Structure 1
Amino acid sequence: MSTQKVVDPAFQGAGQKVGIEIWRIEDFKPVALPKSDYGKFYSGDSYIVLQTTSPKGGAYLYDLHFWIGKDSSQDEAGTAAIKTVELDSVLGGRAVQYRELQGYESDKFLSYFKPCIIPMEGGFASGFKTPEEETFETRLYICKGKRAIRIKQVPFARSSLNHDDVFILDTENKIYQFNGANSNIQERAKSLEVIQHLKEKYHGGVCDVAIVDDGKLQAESDSGEFWVLFGGFAPIGKKTVSDDDVVLETTAPKLYSINDGELKFEDIPLTKAVLGNTRCFLLDCGAEMFVWVGRVTQLEDRKAVTKAVENSSLTRKGQRQQE
């Protein structure tokens, strides 16, 4: 069967020029986003992101990511994974594929969006509001990362604060940066870049900015204003361990092959000679999973190995939540 018959029309012309292209999964179909929405991700959705480069004017190189929001349904996440495989087929099977989970994105993915991405609550299924319909909502963010900054919205409450991290409180008329006493200087500097981004994107470039240092007297005007927003000054608790702090254990690698859409464990030595142009493999190392896709493998086998990765990852996520 020709791949032209199974490839989604939304991917026609993809990868024909240098730059980024983004699709959101809507009703289980990829829909191209307007460039004005690039960098805007909703927690309830899944997206496909294609980065096309051409080093020194040579052949195109492709990095292909699918991003899964924390509230995205299993079906939508699965659709994003399968459609990513289809897009890779359009690109001649030459793309390097990445699976991106909200809050655990790769540095490469984050590098596309300067200074950061700020996932927002909601999604396509719950409906979007136009800028005219939206009312400003005060938001509290935690900032992590020394090279690529990761921003996560947390509940607007004193209990969200701690001494080890940097936080940004975005109010309608002022943006505050709260520096935990034990936070590092790199994250403080990166957070200032995020504040400038928020100021330009959501405040029209007109908004006051204040720095609040943990442990400083609340008599200072900015500090006093900050704590009033939380109902008055009070000691903040110690940092609690969250999913963001969990480090997955590396286990002995297990190799699985894909044949006719079926996953099969291979109890054989892990050597390069095992790999071939007609084979698909999944290497499970516990903390990481790697997929080998031969150049002349069947499209259905490529979809099957991607679905196997998605199902395995969802199972592990459920196990961690139950622990």
Structure 2
Amino acid sequence: EGGGKIEVWRINGSAKTPVPGDDIGKFYSGDCYIVLYTYHCNDRKEDYYLCWWIGKDSVEEDQNMAAKLASTMCNSLKARPVLGRVYQGKEPPQFVAIFQPMLVLKGGLSSGYKSYIADKGLNDETYTADSVALIRLSGTSVHNNKAVQVDAVATSLNSNECFLLQSGSSVFSWHGNQSTYEQQQLAAKVAEFLKPGVTVKHAKEGTESSTFWFALGGKQSYTSKKIASEVARDPHLFAYSFNKGKFEIEEIYNFSQDDLLTEDVLLLDTHAEVFVWVGQSSDPKEKQSSFEVGQKYIEMAASLEGLSPHVPLYKVMEGNEPCFFTTFFSWDPAKAIAHGNSFQKKVMLLFGVGHASENQQRFNGTNQGGATQRASALAALNSAFSSSSPAKSSSAPRSAGKSPGSQRAAAIAALSSALSAEKKQPPEGGSPLRLSRTSSVDAIAPGNEVSTAEIEDSKEVPERKEIETVEPAETDGEDVGPKPEPEQDETGNDSSQTTFSYERLKAKSENPVTGIDLKRREAYLSDEEFESVLEMTKEAFYKLPKWKQDIHKKKVDLF
């Protein structure tokens, strides 16, 4: 947000060279850079935004070295920084805002770039102060205004933008008839940044001098079309797994901050950026490979959903989430600063800090079975508390005559059982339990407090069967996917279910069906129409991963 400290290094061979203060903001397309922005946010001492920028003409050796050195810097700062990879032309708003102005020039200064063009016999187009250079100015705010050097020909002009033309000692500021005042102001700022103290000659579209056109190689026609901006899309949160070496993802729908469990590594795709969120208690190997996981996701989404392969990629550590990440959640800072595993955090919210501290030793050092039992208890708590809240709806039927109080008591009984189980080791050779991720763990509403005495008083243990969502894990490495409801057959069909026409089941139907599960529109198609619309049988469809099912449903407006 401004006021921070900016440090920039250019990659040169196996080292990084500091960029002088007066040149910070200048980037060459043949080079790679590391950017560290240190700033203060709220009451925290210091926050860090660390990323490496990859020029479109840079060599692979420089790109790899930039990634390596940036990761080393991140580790030296105890993994606190948000670590990002940014490609030229795909700079996110928070990156652009650091530099006022940001200027991308042709060519490169690194030894790797110079060697590359020499080996290939290419002309060195690197910008110099006395060369002919045309610079396009775009954007209307500090978060998107950039200056980029383009080919110095008249066809590069656009009536919607402003341009700077450098020719020897002269600098022209060309204003397109449809350019904005902000772009014209940016042109003046960039001219001063490029050549301090220079006298700028203004040329409004249609009033250009012959000297102006001569520098561009003669007057030619150019476009007046606006460059289309990318359409904003809804963000999506994913869990991932490797099934027999194959990368698979599962979407977490209607996600919230409570889905960010400290034991997990999750992917947030906003279409403009991809974040890999790393929980503090996640597996050390997953922490180390989190960037590779993000890259695997981008490659997959690029081929299936049209995501740009050069989309910015960030690694965000739990507890150091930046505002441009938390904006996609209804963020509660109190949850973010709570310490411990997911179970301990929930206990802290439920009983207070003192109770969580009292039980800290009991929770530490437990095996995997204990961890999943804690997850089971969290799911039980979520089911009971959200079922008594009108703001949330539950897909599970509620037992007749059961009050919210008794459901909460039953949930606490489940908690008590899980606490007791922490002290026991699973039988040798036994399979641990694995939690099906069917819902997020919601925060306990202020009106739902319970006392520790309720744990002892609660005897409604049988009701736990209604609220627990635990299923045995596969022992042969097979991925455990969501199980169909009991009344459905293996194709996802309900034998007693009414069918409807495709025209009525479509999301944009003019005569939509009511009273159905809108997340399973396809299930209400007849077998014949299902095969006609989705071009496969129901059995084949429901064997696909959930994310792939969703892609097929989106194509035929059943999502």
Settle same-fold status: TM greater than 0.5: yes
Q: What is the match of residue 135 of structure 2? A: 141
1:306 aligned residue: 291
Write the distance in 1 (CA, Å) between the matches of 2:224 and 2:46: 45
Matches of 2:131 and 2:139, distance apart in 1: 25
- Give RMSD over aligned pairs: 3.5
Alignment of 1:3-14 (within 5 A): none
Distance 1:123 1:310 in 2: 28
Question: In structure 2, do the counterparts of structure 1 residues 302 and 46 end up closer, same or farther at CA, with 3 Å as the change threshold?
Answer: farther
Aligned to 1:224: 210
Q: What is the aligned partner in structure 1 of residue 263 from structure 2?
A: 278
The answer to whether structure 1 residue 208 and structure 2 residue 204 are counterparts is no
Aligned-pair identity in percent equals: 27
Aligned residue in 2 for 1:49: 35
Aligned to 2:48: 62
- Per-residue deviation, 1:302: 3.5
Distance 1:226 1:152 in 2: 19
How far off its partner does 1:184 sit? Answer: 1.1
Match of 1:295 in 2: 280
SS at match of 1:146: coil
Q: CA deviation at 1:195?
A: 0.9
1:256 corresponds to which of 225, 239, 248: 239
> Which residue, 183, 187, 194 being the options, matches 2:183?
187
SS at match of 1:182: coil
> Which of the two has greater strand per residue?
1
The amino acid across from 1:250 in the alignment is: R
Q: TM-score, normalised by structure 1?
A: 0.73
Match of 2:472 in 1: none
CA distance in 1, matches of 2:256, 2:50: 26
Encode CA deviations 1:7-58: one digit per residue, 9 max, x unaligned.
xxxxxxxxxxx7223333444x452424355333221222221111246996
Q: Matches of 2:271 and 2:139 in 1, distance apart?
A: 23
SS at match of 2:147: strand
Distance 2:86 2:261 in 1: 27
| Counterpart in the other structure of 2:328 | none
Report the 3-state secondary structure (helix = DSSP H, G, I; strand = E; otherwise coil) of the residue aligned with 1:41. Answer: strand
CA distance in 2, matches of 1:47, 1:186: 28
State the TM-score, normalizing by the size of structure 2: 0.45
Partners in 2 of 1:277 and 1:227 — Cα distance? 61
Shift of the 85–257 alpha-carbon distance from structure 1 to 2, 3 Å rule, reads: farther
Q: CA deviation at 1:268?
A: 4.2
More helix by share: 2
Q: Is the 8 A contact 2:268 2:276 kept in 1?
A: yes
Cα distance in 1, alignment partners of residues 5 and 102 from structure 2: 17
Decide whether the 8 Å contact of 1:47 with 1:68 is kept in 2.
Answer: yes
**CA 1:91 to 1:277, structure 2 compared with 1: closer, same or farther past 3 Å?**
farther
Q: Residue 89 of structure 1 is aligned with which of 56, 65, 75?
A: 75
Structure 1 pair 300/141, CA: closer, same or farther in 2 (3 Å)?
A: farther
| Contact 1:173 1:208 survives alignment (8 Å) | no
The answer on whether the counterparts of 1:81 and 1:307 sit within 8 Å (CA) in structure 2 is no
Match for 2:199: what amino acid? D
**Do the aligned residues in 2 keep the contact of 1:180 with 1:214 (CA within 8 Å)?**
yes
Which one of the candidate residues 104, 127, 134 is aligned to 1:118? 104
Rg larger in structure: 2
The partner residue of 1:174 within 170, 185, 190 is 170
Contact 2:241 2:249 in 1 (8 A): no
User: Does structure 2 conserve the Cα–Cα contact (< 8 Å) formed by 1:103 and 1:150?
Assistant: no
User: Between Structure 1 and Structure 2, how many residues are aligned?
Assistant: 284
Q: CA deviation at 1:280?
A: 1.7
| Matched residue SS, 1:168 | strand
**Deviations, residues 184-237 of structure 1 (Å, cap 9, x unaligned):** 11111111111111121xxxx3x4320000023x5xxxx232122234445x32
Aligned equivalents of 1:30 and 1:60: distance in 2? Answer: 26
Q: Assess, with a 3 A threshold, how the Cα gap between structure 1 residues 115 and 34 changes in structure 2: closer, same or farther.
A: closer
Instruction: State whether residues 237 and 266 of structure 2, in contact with CA within 8 Å, keep that contact through their aligned partners in structure 1.
Output: no
Name the CA shift for 1:73/1:43 in 2 (closer, same or farther; >3 Å). Answer: same
Match of 1:13 in 2: none
1:170 alignment partner, SS class: strand
Measured in 2, the distance between the counterparts of 1:292 and 1:308 equals 11
In 1, Cα distance between equivalents of 2:267 and 2:41: 29
Distance verdict in 2 for CA 1:287–1:62, change over 3 Å: closer
Amino acid at match of 1:167: F
Q: Which AA in structure 2 matches 1:266? A: E
**Structure 2 residue 221 is matched with structure 1 residue 247:** no
Amino acid at match of 1:140: L
Output the CA distance in 2 between the equivalents of 1:319 and 1:118. 17
Judging changes above 3 Å, is the alpha-carbon distance between structure 1 residues 54 and 230 closer, same or farther for their aligned structure 2 residues? closer
Cα deviation code 1:53-81 (max 9, x no counterpart) = 24699612111122121123456445534
Distance 1:233 1:38, change over 3 A: closer
Say which is worse superposed, 141-150 or 225-234, in terms of deviation.
225-234
What are structure 1's unaligned runs of at least 5 residues? Answer: 1-17, 129-133
Q: Identify which range, 178-187 or 33-42, moves more after superposition.
A: 33-42
Shift in Å, 1:171 = 1.6
How far is 1:142 from its partner? Answer: 0.5
Aligned-partner Cα distance in 1 for 2:169–2:153: 19
Partner of 1:265: 249
Letter in 1 for 2:236: P
1:122/1:92 Cα in 2 relative to 1: closer, same or farther (>3 Å)? same
